[in-house]
Amino acid sequence: MLKALLGYAFVCGAFASAALIAAPTRAQDDPAARAQLCGACHGVDGKPVSAIMPIIWGQQSNYLYKELHDYHSGQRYNATMAPLVKAIDLPNLRKLADYFAAKTWPAQQTNVAAAAAPPAATMCKACHGQNFEGTQAAPRLAGQNYDYLLATMDSFATDQRTNNLDMPGFMKALTEDQRQSIAHYLSAL
């Protein structure tokens, strides 16, 4: 009887430990659980905590996955994002991309004054869409944070960001003033 009870306790204990070991794995495979970490910077309501951080809620799914993939492989480098993303495998990065793409792009955060469309922004629509809301082939730019937009456009222009063949050339063809006015225009959309 005692032996049977001890055996029972042992089996229960084994189940309990197995459950403890399995639980964190399951939690991490759930994109909603993992997304809490991302929310610390990208915002729990889709509004990033700092304007140097991009809005990712409602961004194009293909684009989100490509960027996560590129941070993972090192084709795009950022000291903050690289270690976070390298710890997650590609199938789970795909789940995170789909999770954030399904959210709603946050409403305009500040009263950014609308600006007239700079002539140099016309050619961008061919890929980024007529309203700059992105396509399956290129990211949404409308309403993105000004500081982030300008920083990433500059990083293409200076060969810091090289994970696309066309964008560095397009950004080098513009002056710093033109990049600023385009970033201003896009962020206010």
Q: Where are the alpha helices (DSSP H) in the chain?
A: 2-29, 31-42, 61-73, 81-86, 90-101, 125-128, 146-157, 167-172, 176-187
51: contact with ligand HEC by CB under 6 A? no
Considering only 46, 51, 81, 185, the residue that binds ligand HEC (CB under 6 A) is 81
Name which of residues 1 to 40 contact ligand HEC (CB under 6 A): 34, 37-38, 40
| Six-digit token string for 69 | 């993939």
What CA–CA distance (Å, rounded) separates 87 from 147?
Answer: 27
What CA–CA distance (Å, rounded) separates 102 from 32?
Answer: 12
Considering only 62, 109, 162, 163, the residue that binds ligand HEC (CB under 6 A) is 163
164: contact with ligand HEC by CB under 6 A? yes
- Closest approach of Cβ 187 to ligand HEC, in Å? 10
45: contact with ligand HEC by CB under 6 A? no
Instruction: Find the length of the chain.
Output: 189
Question: CB–CB of 109/47 below 8 Å?
Answer: yes
What CA–CA distance (Å, rounded) separates 98 from 77?
Answer: 22
- Closest approach of Cβ 131 to ligand HEC, in Å? 14
Considering only 112, 120, 142, 188, the residue that binds ligand HEC (CB under 6 A) is 120
DSSP lists the bridge partners of residue 138 as: 135
Considering only 102, 166, 172, 175, the residue that binds ligand HEC (CB under 6 A) is 166
**Considering beta carbons, is residue 58 or 138 the nearer one to ligand HEC?**
138
Burial class (CB in 10 A: 0-12, 13-18, 19+), 157: buried
Distance from the first to the final alpha carbon of the chain: 75
Question: CB–CB of 182/115 below 8 Å?
Answer: no
105: contact with ligand HEC by CB under 6 A? no
68: contact with ligand HEC by CB under 6 A? yes
**Considering beta carbons, is residue 13 or 83 the nearer one to ligand HEC?**
83
What residues line the site for ligand HEC (CB under 6 A)? Answer: 34, 37-38, 40-42, 52-54, 56, 64, 66-68, 78, 80-81, 84, 96, 120-121, 123-124, 126-128, 137-139, 141, 149, 152-153, 163-164, 166-167, 170, 182
